Copies of this chain bind each other. A is one copy, B any other.
């Protein structure tokens, strides 16, 4: 890098009583305060905080040597691993922005994101590398033994960037794009810092914690855990993906204290032949879809403490947290635990609004759109002022999720706006119907979607996968639903099949709607 460039990037003067909030400070402090503790462990390799900070500076310098400059964007298309975690520090340390991408995107989607974000460099796992078709402006570097050796041989960055504006971007996370092209959600240093502190405080992370990476780091920057774990000096254990046998093996070794996962991951773990009651205390954060009381209860019976959180890509991952009331009665407990809760300690405010922008009554029944505001709401959609303004109308972020509000301020997710079934003019929350189905002992997973109907407009149709060896019929399940729900909410039809899912565990309802509309009614 030339002297002229360095001059442009000169450091701002220090102030005695103000410093921008940035998660970079977490590692800069932890490398001294927690110098001898293990920061990250990946297979046979592990790094102490002191060494890992050096390593972040080496990767930072390596990126500079590849031509990455301040303000550039660096992509990561990789399975969970030490290098992905490291990029959460090495990239912002040189003033660049991190773009972690979903490993299950199509080459076409990846090329769209590379272009849309003007990506300068892409770090790829070997099996995910793109061949030849990348934008010429973007270099590709493979995360493998060669890169590892190159980084180890690079001198550490002499002068990490000092962030001068806490509202400047630290990362961009692309939405899954189920309703159009993926949108680039911009996170800033302040939001990442604050949500990381909330994750640490709300879920009891400290320097004795060991965090197991069962959540993809490309999912909202791993719900801010790459920053939260380093803030407190915890140990990270990186595994490339969720293999239940591997997870249970690590759990049985007794060191893991925290992990995160969508409800489908919880299901995978609970259904694994290796599942067995835990000997130690493990806190399990779940979000990404609404967990049913059934799956919360199953995980608790295995010994997990389930922390239920809720948010979106636009809210740095978790925005709300379900805090248990000391007054809840045993029979109400799982139902209350399945609510999405109230804003976490640093997030801000959550509410439920009717279409005219008025808060709905806090009656646990009136449906409205979940809205949020605060420091843990995105800066904007990159290069999309129109979508940003639409999402931010009336001073709040509009989630597109439907929910209800309880008298104590907790919100409960009922549906995505687009997933709601409207039958004979009545709203049917598919989450509510799925919850009733999941409470049947034979049901492993269930998803409900709308089928077009000449008479009712739409009717609910259920897709169900059963537990191995169980024999419930569609009529059995509809009868079970009638014991728990008003008749008009019960599925008109039950289709047995495995449920298609995105890499982050979201059930792909668009696919199921197509199937539902192509299948004639088989029952009732």
Contact = CB atoms under 8 A, between A and B. Distances in A.
B373 A19 contact: yes
A373 B14 contact: yes
A55 interface: no
A342 B29 contact: yes
B395 A345 contact: no
A325 B197 CA distance: 22
Given A36-B325, A323-B34, A345 B19 contact: no
B19 A231 contact: no
A230 to B, nearest CB: 11
A154 interface: no
A2 interface: no
A375 to B, nearest CB: 6
Interface string A198-233: 001100101100000000000000000000000111
Nearest to A35: B408
A397 B16 contact: yes
Contact of A14 (B29, B207, B327, B395): B395
Interface band, chain A: 35 or more
Contact of A16 (B15, B21, B204, B373): B373
Contacts of A348: 19
A327 B397 contact: no
A395 B16 contact: yes
Contacts of A397: 16-17
Interface in A59-115: none
Nearest to A377: B17
B396 A16 contact: yes
A343 B15 contact: no
A409 interface: yes
A267 interface: no
A18 B207 CA distance: 30
Contacts of A200: 201
A326 interface: yes
A396 B19 CA distance: 12
B197 A15 contact: no
A33 interface: yes
A345 B17 contact: no
Contacts of A231: 201, 345
A19 B374 contact: yes
Given A35-B408, A325-B35, A19 B342 contact: no
A342 B33 contact: yes
A378 B17 contact: yes
Nearest to A186: B17
Nearest to A341: B33
A377 B200 CA distance: 24
Nearest to A345: B231
A29 B345 contact: yes
B232 A201 contact: yes
Q: Output the residue of A18, A35, A206, A231 with the most chain B CB within 10 A.
A: A18
Contact of A377 (B13, B16, B341, B392): B16
A204 B372 CA distance: 28
A370 to B, nearest CB: 13
A36 B395 contact: no
A206 B200 CA distance: 11
A13 B396 CA distance: 11
B392 A29 contact: no
A10 interface: no
Contacts of A232: 201, 345
A37 interface: yes
A372 to B, nearest CB: 8
A326 B48 CA distance: 12
Contact of A32 (B15, B29, B201, B408): B408
A188 to B, nearest CB: 9
A409 B19 CA distance: 19
A465 interface: no
A396 B14 CA distance: 8
A418 to B, nearest CB: 21
Closest 9 pairs (CB-CB, A-B): A32-B409, A17-B377, A14-B395, A16-B392, A36-B327, A16-B373, A16-B397, A33-B323, A19-B374
18 contacts: A14-B373, A14-B395, A15-B373, A15-B395, A16-B396, A17-B191, A17-B375, A17-B379, A17-B392, A29-B343, A32-B342, A35-B408, A36-B326, A36-B327, A37-B326, A197-B197, A201-B201, A207-B323
Given A15-B373, A16-B391, A36-B327, 12 more contacts: A16-B373, A16-B377, A16-B395, A16-B396, A17-B375, A17-B377, A29-B343, A32-B342, A200-B201, A201-B231, A232-B345, A233-B323
